[in-house]
C-alpha cells in the first residue's frame, strides 16, 4: 500500500494502526479546514517557526507536511492564521524568547477570530512550562511535545471539535511512526532521523529529560526513506540523532552506525552523507575506518568537546578525558587527513576555575577547530549540574566567553585560509543573500563559498576554485 495515499474513508471506523489513524485525521481535519475557508472566503494560512537544532528543523518539515495536506497554505508569520512555535529548551534564553513572542501574538489573536496558536517541541516537555501556559497563556490553542508530533492532525481535529485548548504531552515513548507527510525546505538535501532521544545524561543537559530514551529507527525504514528522497531529487542527506554513534544498540537485530553508513553509501544517486551529533566516547575505530574509505561521507566531523579540563569533563559526566579526546582527534586525522573538525564548548560550568578554562583554551589551540559553537552555561532545572555548588558569576563567565570566542575565531580563519586556491566540489544551495548575481554553495567540509551564478545551479554539485578566504567562508569561481 502506498502510505502517502492510503485509502482512508471517514465513514469507516478509525483505523488502529498509527499511520493509518493519522491519515484518517488528516482527512477529517481537511474537512474542517475546507469548511472554515469557505466561510471566510479565502484559504487559511500557517507559519511554523523553528527554534533550536536540526532535529527540530526536521520535525518542522513534518508539521508543514501535515498542515499542507489538510489544506493550509504557507505564509509569513505576521499574516498567518495558524502560528506554530517548535520550541527548544537547551538553554534558558530559548524559553524567554518564546514567551516574548507569544505575548506579541495575543493582540493579533483578538483581532483575527480564525487565528490559532500551536506550541510544540522540547520546551513543552517541561511540566512547569505547561503549567505556566495553562495558567497565563490561555489563548494558546494546541500544546504538544516531542514524542507525539505525528499526532498533529488528530490534535487539530480535537481543537475543532472541542473548541478548547488541547494539551497532549507524553512523558516518553517507544513509538516511531513511519510514513507520514513532510514538506522539505530544500529539494536537493534533507535531514533524516536515524534515532531519537539520548541516554547520556551529561550533567548540564536537559535533552535526555525532554527527548526521552534512545530509540533507533529500523535500518530498512531509513534506507527506504533515503531511496525515496533520492528519487525525489535529493543528493545530500544529514543523518540526525543526539548521539549517532550509539545507533542500533537497541534494535532487535543490533547494527552499528558504521554499518548503517556503509549501507546508505550503496544508494545510487545519493552523492553526499553527513551526520550529527557524535559523542566522542562512542566514536568507534570501525566508524573512523568507514569514513576514511567512503566516497560519499563528507569530510566533516562535529565532535563536541564541551570542555578541555578533565576535571570538569568528569563533573559533566562526559566519560572521556582531555587526553582521550586528543588521541581520538589524532586517530581521525590520520585516517581522514583533510577532515574538518567542529565542536561545541560550554564556558562557566559550575566550579570551572581559571585553570580549567585555560585547559579549554589549550585544547582549542591543539585541535585547531574549523569552527566551534561556544555557549555560556545555562542552569537547567532538574539537571544534576543545576544543584552543584560554585555556580560561576556572570561577569567571570562573560569574560571567559569573550576570550574563548576570540581564540576560536582566530584559529578558524587561519584554518580556513589553508584551502585558498584549491578546487573543491560545492553543492549549490541558493542565491546569495547579499548579492543576487551570486549563488552560495556548501563544500564537503561544511564551509560556504559564494560565486557568480544564477538560480539554475541550485541543487547541483559543481567544482569551484576557492579564490579568497574571508575568515569563515570563501569567494570562488566556477572551475573548468
Ligand atoms: N548550557 C549551555 N550549553 C548547553 N548545551 C547543552 N546544554 C547546555 C546548557 N545547559 C550545549 C552543548 C551541546 C549543545 C547542543 O548545546 O554544548 O553540545
Ligand atoms: Fe545532552 Fe549529552 Fe545527550 Fe548531547 S549527549 S543531548 S549534550 S545529554
The SS3 call for residue 350 is: coil
The confidence band for 4, taking pLDDT boundaries of 50, 70 and 90, is low
Q: Give the nearest ligand 2 atom to 205 CA.
A: 1
Return mean pLDDT, the chain: 95
Q: Which helix (H) or strand (E) holds 468?
A: strand 461-469
Report the C-alpha gap between 232 and 186 in whole angstroms: 11
Statement: residue 6 has pLDDT above 70: no
Q: Give the nearest ligand 1 atom to 304 CA.
A: 18
Q: Whose CA is nearest to atom 13 of ligand 1?
A: 344
Largest CA distance in the chain: 70
Report the C-alpha gap between 376 and 372 in whole angstroms: 13
Name the residue among 310, 260, 304 with its Cα closest to residue 282: 304
Report the C-alpha gap between 452 and 232 in whole angstroms: 27
Q: Give the nearest ligand 2 atom to 318 CA.
A: 2
Decide which of 385 and 2 is more confident: 385
- The predicted structure's pLDDT at residue 308: 98
Ligand 1 contact, 77 CB (< 6 A): no
Average pLDDT of the segment spanning 33-57: 97
Ligand 1 contact, 170 CB (< 6 A): no
What is each CA distance from 138 to 103, 116, 142, in whole angstroms?
11, 12, 10
Kindly give the distance from the C-alpha atom of residue 208 to the centroid of ligand 2, in angstroms, as a whole number: 7
Residue of 202, 346, 379 with the most ligand 1 atoms within 8 Å of its CB, for mutation: 346
Kindly give the distance from the C-alpha atom of residue 475 to the centroid of ligand 2, in angstroms, as a whole number: 35
pLDDT tens column, 113-142: 999 999 999 999 999 999 999 999 999 999
Nearest ligand to residue 385 Cα: 1
Ligand 1 contact, 344 CB (< 6 A): yes
Report the C-alpha gap between 228 and 18 in whole angstroms: 21
- The predicted structure's pLDDT at residue 1: 39
Sheet of 73-74, strand order: 73-74, 45-50, 82-87, 116-121, 142-144, 166-168
Report the C-alpha gap between 449 and 461 in whole angstroms: 13
Q: What DSSP designation does 165 have?
A: -
The confidence band for 321, taking pLDDT boundaries of 50, 70 and 90, is very high
Whether the CB-CB separation of 208 and 198 falls below 8 Å is answered with yes
Exposed, middle or buried by CB within 10 Å (0-12, 13-18, 19+), for 5?
exposed
Whether the CB-CB separation of 469 and 444 falls below 8 Å is answered with no
Kindly give the distance from the C-alpha atom of residue 450 to the centroid of ligand 2, in angstroms, as a whole number: 34
Phi, psi of 442 (to 5 degrees): -110, 130
Statement: residue 2 has pLDDT above 50: no
- The predicted structure's pLDDT at residue 408: 97
The three cell numbers of residue 9 are 474513508
Statement: residue 212 has pLDDT above 60: yes
Ligand 1 contact, 139 CB (< 6 A): no
- The predicted structure's pLDDT at residue 108: 96
Q: Which stretches does DSSP call E strand in 88-127? A: 116-121
Statement: residue 12 has pLDDT above 90: no
- Strands 73-74 and 45-50: what pairing? parallel
Considering only 131-140, 180-189, 220-229, 325-334, which range has the smallest mean pLDDT?
Answer: 180-189
Whether the CB-CB separation of 216 and 247 falls below 8 Å is answered with yes
Q: What DSSP designation does 247 have?
A: T
Nearest ligand to residue 380 Cα: 1
Statement: residue 11 has pLDDT above 80: no
The region, left, alpha or beta by phi > 0 then psi within -120 to 50, assigned to residue 317 is left
Q: Which long-range contacts (CB under 8 A, 24 or more apart) does 91-96 make?
A: 91/375, 91/376, 91/378, 91/380, 92/378, 92/379, 92/380, 93/378, 94/51, 94/52, 94/123, 95/123, 95/129
Whether the CB-CB separation of 474 and 468 falls below 8 Å is answered with yes
Q: Which helix (H) or strand (E) holds 428?
A: strand 423-431
- The predicted structure's pLDDT at residue 147: 95
Report the C-alpha gap between 249 and 228 in whole angstroms: 25
Q: What DSSP designation does 374 have?
A: E
Ligand 2 contact, 373 CB (< 6 A): no
Phi, psi of 347 (to 5 degrees): -110, 145
Residue of 279, 280, 283, 343 with the most ligand 2 atoms within 8 Å of its CB, for mutation: 279
pLDDT tens column, 172-209: 998 899 888 899 999 999 999 999 999 999 999 999 99
Kindly give the distance from the C-alpha atom of residue 373 to the centroid of ligand 1, in angstroms, as a whole number: 10
Q: Which helix (H) or strand (E) holds 286?
A: helix 285-293
CA angle 23, 62, 47 (to 5 degrees): 110
Kindly give the distance from the C-alpha atom of residue 140 to the centroid of ligand 1, in angstroms, as a whole number: 28
Ligand 1 contact, 306 CB (< 6 A): yes
Residue labelled with grid coordinates 507536511? 65
Ligand 1 contact, 188 CB (< 6 A): no
- The predicted structure's pLDDT at residue 178: 87
Beta bridge partners of 248: none
Q: Whose CA is nearest to atom 9 of ligand 1?
A: 378
pLDDT tens column, 380-407: 999 999 999 999 999 999 999 999 999 9
Average pLDDT of the segment spanning 54-83: 96
The confidence band for 3, taking pLDDT boundaries of 50, 70 and 90, is low
Q: Which pTM was predicted?
A: 0.94
Whether the CB-CB separation of 295 and 259 falls below 8 Å is answered with no
Kindly give the distance from the C-alpha atom of residue 304 to the centroid of ligand 2, in angstroms, as a whole number: 10
Ligand 1 contact, 205 CB (< 6 A): yes
The three cell numbers of residue 138 are 490561555
Q: Which stretches does DSSP call E strand in 282-334? A: 300-302
The confidence band for 251, taking pLDDT boundaries of 50, 70 and 90, is very high
* Percentages (nearest 5) of helix, strand, coil residues in the chain: 40, 20, 40
Average pLDDT of the segment spanning 301-324: 98
Amino acid at each position: 500500500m502506498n502510505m502517502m495515499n492510503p485509502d482512508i474513508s471517514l465513514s469507516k471506523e478509525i483505523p488502529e494502526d498509527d499511520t493509518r489513524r493519522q491519515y484518517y485525521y488528516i482527512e477529517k481535519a481537511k474537512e474542517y479546514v475546507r469548511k472554515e475557508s469557505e466561510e471566510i472566503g479565502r484559504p487559511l494560512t500557517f507559519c511554523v517557526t523553528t527554534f533550536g537544532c536540526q532535529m527540530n528543523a526536521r520535525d518542522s518539515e513534518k508539521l508543514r507536511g501535515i498542515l499542507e495536506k489538510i489544506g493550509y497554505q504557507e505564509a509569513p508569520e505576521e499574516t498567518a492564521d495558524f502560528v506554530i512555535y517548535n520550541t527548544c529548551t537547551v538553554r534558558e534564553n530559548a524559553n524567554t524568547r518564546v514567551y516574548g513572542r507569544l505575548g506579541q501574538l495575543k493582540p493579533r489573536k483578538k483581532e483575527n477570530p480564525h487565528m490559532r496558536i500551536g506550541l510544540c517541541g522540547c520546551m513543552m516537555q517541561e511540566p512547569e512550562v505547561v503549567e505556566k501556559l495553562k495558567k497565563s497563556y490561555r489563548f494558546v490553542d494546541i500544546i504538544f511535545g516531542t514524542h507525539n508530533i505525528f499526532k498533529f492532525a488528530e490534535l487539530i481535529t480535537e481543537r475543532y471539535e472541542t473548541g478548547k485548548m488541547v494539551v497532549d504531552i507524553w512523558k516518553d515513548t517507544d513509538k516511531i511512526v513511519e510514513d507520514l507527510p513532510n514538506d522539505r525546505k530544500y529539494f536537493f538535501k534533507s535531514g533524516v532521523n536515524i534515532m531519537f532521544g539520548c541516554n547520556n545524561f551529561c550533567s548540564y543537559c536537559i535533552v535526555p529529560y525532554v527527548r526521552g530514551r534512545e530509540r533507533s529507527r529500523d535500518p530498512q525504514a531509513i534506507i527506504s526513506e533515503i531511496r525515496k528522497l533520492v528519487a525525489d531529487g535529493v543528493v545530500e542527506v544529514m543523518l540526525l540523532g543526539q548521539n549517532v554513534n550509539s545507533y542500533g544498540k537497541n534494535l532487535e537485530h543490533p547494527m552499528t552506525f558504521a554499518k548503517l553508513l556503509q549501507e546508505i553509501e550503496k544508494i545510487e544517486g545519493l552523492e553526499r552523507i553527513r551526520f550529527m551529533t557524535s559523542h566522542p566516547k562512542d566514536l568507534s575505530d570501525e566508524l573512523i575506518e568507514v569514513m576514511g574509505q567512503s566516497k560519499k561521507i563528507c569530510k566533516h566531523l562535529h565532535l563536541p568537546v564541551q570542555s578541555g579540563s578533565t576535571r570538569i569533563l568528569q563533573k559533566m559526566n562526559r566519560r572521556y578525558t582531555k587526553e582521550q579526546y586528543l588521541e581520538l582527534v589524532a586517530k581521525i586525522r590520520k585516517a581522514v587527513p583533510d577532515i574538518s573538525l567542529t565542536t561545541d564548548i560550554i564556558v562557566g560550568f559550575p566550579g570551572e576555575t581559571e585553570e580549567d578554562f585555560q585547559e579549554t583554551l589549550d585544547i582549542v589551540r591543539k585541535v585547531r577547530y574549523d569552527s566551534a559553537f561556544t555557549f555560556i552555561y545555562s542552569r537547567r532545572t532538574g539537571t544534576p549540574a543545576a544543584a552543584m555548588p560554585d555556580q560561576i558569576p556572570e561577569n567571570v563567565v562573560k569574560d571567559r566567553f569573550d576570550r574563548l570566542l576570540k581564540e576560536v575565531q582566530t584559529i578558524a580563519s587561519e584554518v580556513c585560509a589553508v584551502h585558498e586556491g584549491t578546487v573543491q566540489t560545492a553543492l549549490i544551495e541558493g542565491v546569495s543573500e547579499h548579492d543576487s548575481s551570486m549563488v552560495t554553495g556548501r563544500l564537503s567540509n561544511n564551509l560556504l563559498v559564494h560565486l557568480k551564478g544564477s538560480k539554475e545551479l541550485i541543487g547541483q554539485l559543481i567544482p569551484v576554485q576557492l579564490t579568497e578566504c574571508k575568515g569563515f567562508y570563501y569567494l570562488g569561481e566556477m572551475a573548468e
